[in-house]
Structure 1
Amino acid sequence: MDVDANLSRTVKSELRQVVDESLSSVMPSVLIKKNVRYDGSNLIVNGLPYPLNDDVHIVGFGKAVGGMAYMLADLLGPRLKGGILSVPELMSSEPKQLQMLKRSKIIEYREGAKNNQPDHASYSSTKHIIKYVQNLGKKDTLVLLISGGGSALLFAPKPPMTFEEKRDLCKRLQNSGASIGELNVVRKQMSRVKGGGLALMAYPAKVLALILSDVVGDHLEIIASGPTCPTPEGNRVESINILKRYNLYHTLSEEVRREIFEKVYCLDTSLISNGKFNFVENIIIGNNESALEASAKAAQKLDLEGVILSNKVEGNVKDVSVAYAQLAESICHALDKGFSNKEDFIAEISKHDVSVLNLNKEKLEKAYEAFTSLREGKGVLLLIGGEPTVVVEGDGKGGRNQELALQFSLDWLSQIAKKPELSRYFVEFLSIATDGQDGPTDAAGAFGKPGISPKMKLLMQDLKDEKKKTFDTKKLQAIDKKIQEVTSMLPENVLQRNDTYSFYSKFENGKNHLITGPTGTNVMDLNYIYLRKRDCDCDIPGVIKINTPVEVNNFLFDQSEEGCEKDE
């Protein structure tokens, strides 16, 4: 009997419930309803009034702006004169609202940026947005709606750079492992509309930007590459340094380097006060922290101890995974009452390189108090947010969340190998992209667990044993083919190819994939680490010793069966 099978199914179900409530809390319609009111003269946001000029217009770009625009159009009524939205293709979230918005014809609704990448459709939408805002005047208020995905949906390269040159450079920079901050520095330098460009085009209209943050630290100049924030003086030099850091600057044409990166342009400083445009108000109405707080409430309903540790995770997925494994080890030790006090607990965590997690001392102290007072048998859910990066070196299909889940599965197994007492804890990991699209895939993310690699290796061993007993040529060929496929699907090989989507689609018949469809929101990624002390010291299938027989035909290859996890 696989003692973890039933528990894993229960935990997956609970984590899905937590995810559902977290995503619901940051849906654009919910955020507008919660944070925005209209009193006939002012738009009141987060309790503060913002006077509106005679005519109000809405322009939006991003994965969440459809729901935001619908709610605002309903609030403003006849005060709203028109607008344009640039949204992703196949946006399925809140379909009734979006379809009503399209039928209203008050706001033009344009789709583009398939697979999260700028395309000619989003380029065309941006041209229409530019033309629209350039026609606004002093009597107008432009309400800008900005959310994650805005960089791909608001796309207009500075000449002489072409559409293809800018798109390809951004993709190469992303695949090189550049952070979202580094990407946005370069994007601003190459764009007509980013780095404050769009706000300047709308001047002298008043601009009120309502923003759903999808970046670590909620930095306004980074979200969608800062279309309402002046580009700082050092951006040009910094963008050159970033491109050189990733060996990409020399790949640009001499004309592009000269006109876009080396020529110095001056802003009209009369429009800027304290580093901000004096005709623009930027307001964040939702972020990753909002989703984590909802996760904690959802965990509490399930009788889990939900502990928020950080919403500022960034760095390479490999480094993040190792840090998570080391953090989980320290927390298991705390749950075993292995520390004399919170200072020792924090000192132990500090011995490891967990800088990519950006842990906060105050939150760690609060977490320690929760761990040491935990009721016997109660599960712990670590709640962490951010946006790691992946260096793409292979030709596979995947995303950072699926890669993080599989990498953590290996790293936690490695911790158990070094300290077998950790096997007393059941651990399940989940990483999801809140927009429902992890990389160019239809998966939001994936679950991770230490039994993945041992099960794959057991499957390999069973195939090799079967081959030794087989003498029929056709059967041998079939076994060799399966061995070749299993070899390619060993986690370490999958990670080397960046092919986690293919792996999770096949492993245990896809039950470790999390597929939500496009959610209609975007507040970076959510990571969950579930910890629970086992009720017995029995052998742990898939971790220390695997006693469960693996059905070779159904485990990996036959997608119509339920897989190998059986109750008996």
Structure 2
Amino acid sequence: MHAADSRPFLLHLFDAALGAVDAGTLLAQHLPPPPRGRTVVIGAGKAAARMAEGVERHWQGALSGLVVTRYAHGAPTRLIEVVEAGHPVPDAAGVEAAERILRLVEGLTEDDLVLCLMSGGGSALLSLPAPGITAQEKRDINRALLRSGAPIGEMNCVRRHLSSIKGGRLALACYPARVVTLVVSDVPGDDPAVVASGPTVPDGSTALDALAILERYAIPVSDAVRDLLRDPGRAAPKPDDPRLARNETIVIATAQGALEAAAQAARAAGITPLILSNSIEGEARDVASVHAAIARQVLEHGQPCAAPCVILSGGETSVTVRGQGRGGRNAEFLLALALALNGQAGVHALASDTDGIDGTEDNAGAVLAPDTLARAAAQGLDARAMLGNNDGYSLFAALGDLVVTGPTRTNVNDFRALLITP
């Protein structure tokens, strides 16, 4: 493959991955039959509006409801109201939406069905602090967690136990109605209890687990938070809770599905794919070092596959923020990868978030080429200093190498592809 074709090829793989996890399309095959009573649709996350759109298109019968999504992630619906709110830091709109959803499911009967549409981002979007905790205090804890480098599972454990609606508590509010939850997974391992902090899924963790996480990352909290997390009466419902016995949870879209679609697109183009993993976690720059080492192994020894090939991986890396720059975890990964490869010929890469938003920026991610560092230096950019300042976005923006998709209205987390040619 000619170097000039590398960027279009990588973008083609990303498009194939996104197409495979289109929540509006996948949802149809998983819809339950209509109930004898009412159908109420609720949900939260970056894919929630697209999922609601799909329900309206395929549902046979009457329905109503409300879902909450991130600002600019809405979709046109007729019967299900779409509310937009703050992400990744919760705001008043998200709190109000959570309160309204709880009111919507009041007074339901065992003949009714609650169809719950959950996807990544729902933890911040469906925010209702536990009694005795202010919304501002919960926002401060959430912001500190985001900067701490904690993996998403630990962040969501804390969010569940500081909430009045997460960790299965929303399912209890729906009882005795049956709850069917459809999940677009953005978490390594695809545990539905972790996606959006599992509002309708029973919780296997404890409040003391959440307290230990806060202490591990030295996140300051008030006495009210400590007292709440030490209160045995605040336990979330467990998997064997009889009130949840009729409920069902189905994961409809995953990172694995996105990677397999990209692999199929690579094969069709005559390039050997290798799916490294769908659940890679850790510091973005450390993950980049490992990917660089694998690329060199391919070029020097033809292992674990011979060039030309493409190494695919997913999951969710983290960034411990120490600088003041702009850039999400995918820009961080690529900038660290560029430094680790140091102009290595034959390696092109793309790293993007499948929701279209890398961190809090306006790009999904970026692309890298063997001449990335040379082009940056020609513009007077110090790549190593910019990595130290967590400023990957600024470097790739200056080079014209950002990947900008706009909101994709799905979310199966990071997508990485390293194209390696002889």
With the length of structure 2 as denominator, give the TM-score of the two structures: 0.94
Match of 2:390 in 1: 498
Q: Name the SS for the 1:135 alignment partner.
A: coil
Q: Runs of 5+ in structure 2 lacking a partner?
A: none
Residue-by-residue CA offset, 1:42-99 (whole Å, 9 max, x unaligned): 53xxxxxxx734221111111112222222223223332x11111111126xxxxx32
Q: Give the residue type in structure 1 aligned to 2:275.
A: I
Answer yes or no: is 1:517 the counterpart of 2:399: no
CA contact 1:24–1:30 (8 Å) conserved in 2? no
* 1:237-269 deviation per Cα after TM superposition (whole angstroms, max 9, x unaligned): 111111111111xx22212221x2111126697
Question: 1:16 aligned to 11, 18, 24, which one?
Answer: 11
In structure 1, how many angstroms separate the alpha carbons of the residues matched to 2:236 and 2:270? 57
Structure 2 letter corresponding to 1:111: E
- Aligned partner of 1:79 in structure 2 is 62
Q: 1:265 aligns with which of 227, 230, 233?
A: 233
Q: Which letter maps to 1:86?
A: V
Give the aligned partner of residue 215 of structure 2. Answer: 244
CA shift for structure 1 position 236: 1.3
- Whether the 8 Å CA contact 1:230–1:275 is kept in 2: the answer is no
Larger radius of gyration: 1
Q: Is the 8 A contact 2:35 2:111 kept in 1?
A: no
Partner of 2:317: 388
Q: TM-score if structure 1 supplies the norm length?
A: 0.71
Aligned equivalent of 2:354: 434
The answer on 1:235 being equivalent to 2:127 is no
Q: Deviations over 1:419-466 (max 9, x none)?
A: xxxx5x500111000000001110100112343334444x37xxxxxx
User: Could you give the per-residue CA deviations for residues 3-52 of structure 1, whole angstroms, max 9, x where no partner exists?
Assistant: xxx9443110111111112101111122124x335xxxx53xxxxxxx73
RMSD, aligned α-carbons: 2.2
Amino acid at match of 1:283: I
Q: Please say if residues 230 and 276 of structure 1, whose CA atoms lie closer than 8 Å, have aligned partners that are also in contact.
A: no
Offset at 1:328? 1.6
Deviations 1:345-372 (A, max 9, x none): 6xxxxxxxxxxxxxxxxxxxxxx4xx35
Q: Secondary structure, in 3 states, of the residue corresponding to 1:138?
A: coil
Matched residue SS, 1:323:
helix
Deviation of the 1:272 alpha carbon: 4.7
1:325 paired with 2:292, answer yes
Corresponding residue SS for 2:360: coil
Structure 1 residues 32 and 255, CA, compared in 2 at 3 Å: closer, same or farther? closer
- Tell me how far apart the structure 2 counterparts of residues 146 and 453 of structure 1 sit (CA, whole Å): 40
SS in 1 for 2:347: strand
Larger fraction in helix: 1
Report how far residue 333 of structure 1 moved.
3.1
Separation of aligned partners in 1, 2:25 and 2:267: 21
Paired-residue identity, %: 33
Q: Which residue of 1 aligns with 2:25?
A: 30
1:492 to partner: Cα distance: 1.0
Kept in 1: contact 2:202–2:236 (CA 8 A): no
Per the alignment, residue 359 of structure 1 pairs with none
| Alpha-carbon distance, 1:275 to partner | 10
| Unaligned stretches of 5+ residues in structure 1 | 1-5, 44-50, 93-97, 336-344, 346-367, 373-377, 417-422, 461-485, 534-568
Q: How far 1:274 sits from its partner (Å)?
A: 8.1
CA distance in structure 1 between the aligned counterparts of 2:224 and 2:276, rounded to whole angstroms: 47
Partner Cα distance (1:243, 1:123) in 2: 23
CA contact (8 A) 2:169 2:236 kept: no
**CA shift for structure 1 position 276:** 9.4
Question: Contact 1:150–1:224 at 8 Å: present in 2 too?
Answer: yes
Q: How far did residue 528 of structure 1 move?
A: 0.4
Q: Partner of 1:118: helix, strand, or coil?
A: coil
Question: SS at 1:306's partner residue?
Answer: strand
1:265-300 CA-to-partner distances (Å, cap 9, x unmatched) read 26697x852899313211111100010111011112
Q: Do the aligned residues in 1 keep the contact of 2:172 with 2:243 (CA within 8 Å)?
A: no
Distance apart, 1:150 and its partner CA: 0.8
Distance in structure 1 (CA, Å) of the matches to 2:359 and 2:290: 22
Residue in 2 that maps onto 1:95: none
- SS where residue 181 of structure 2 aligns? strand
Structure 1 SS opposite 2:110: coil
Instruction: Quote the residue 1:69 is aligned against.
Output: 52
Q: For residues 455 and 86 of structure 1, what CA distance do their matches in structure 2 show?
A: 42
Q: What is the CA–CA distance in structure 2 between the aligned matches of 1:16 and 1:326, rounded to whole Å? A: 23
1:58 aligns with: 41
1:374-453 to structure 2, matched below 5 A, reads 379-413=308-342, 423=344, 425-453=345-373
Among candidates 184, 189, 203, match of residue 212 of structure 1: 184
Which residue identity does 1:439 align to in structure 2? G
2:338 is paired with a residue whose SS is: helix
Runs of 4+ in 1 over 6 A off after TM superposition: none
Distance 1:275 1:324, change over 3 A: farther
Deviation at 1:136, TM superposition (A): 2.1
- Flag the 1:89–1:407 CA change in 2: closer, same or farther, 3 A: same
Partner of 1:164: 136
Partner of 1:529: helix, strand, or coil? strand
1:134 aligned residue (73, 95, 106): 106
Distance 2:416 2:236 in 1: 43
Cα offset, 1:205, TM superposition: 0.9
Measure, in 2, the Cα distance between the counterparts of 1:447 and 1:276. 49
SS at match of 2:421: strand
CA distance in 1, matches of 2:81, 2:107: 16
Q: Deviations over 1:485-512 (max 9, x none)?
A: x3xx3111111111111221112xx1x1
Alignment match, 2:73:
91
Shift of 1:128: 0.6
- Partner-residue secondary structure (3-state), 2:278: strand
1: CA distance, partners of 2:146 / 2:3: 34
For 1:254 and 1:53, locate their aligned partners in 2 and report how far apart those are by CA, in whole Å: 48
Contact 1:410 1:450 in 2 (8 A): no
The one-letter amino acid of 2:100's match is H
In the aligned structure 2, how far is the partner of 1:299 from the partner of 1:16? Answer: 11
Aligned counterparts of 1:503 and 1:325: Cα–Cα separation in 2: 19
- Aligned to 1:265, the other structure's residue is in SS state helix
Question: Are 1:110 and 2:93 matched, yes or no?
Answer: no
> d(CA) in 2 for partners of 1:333 and 1:139?
64
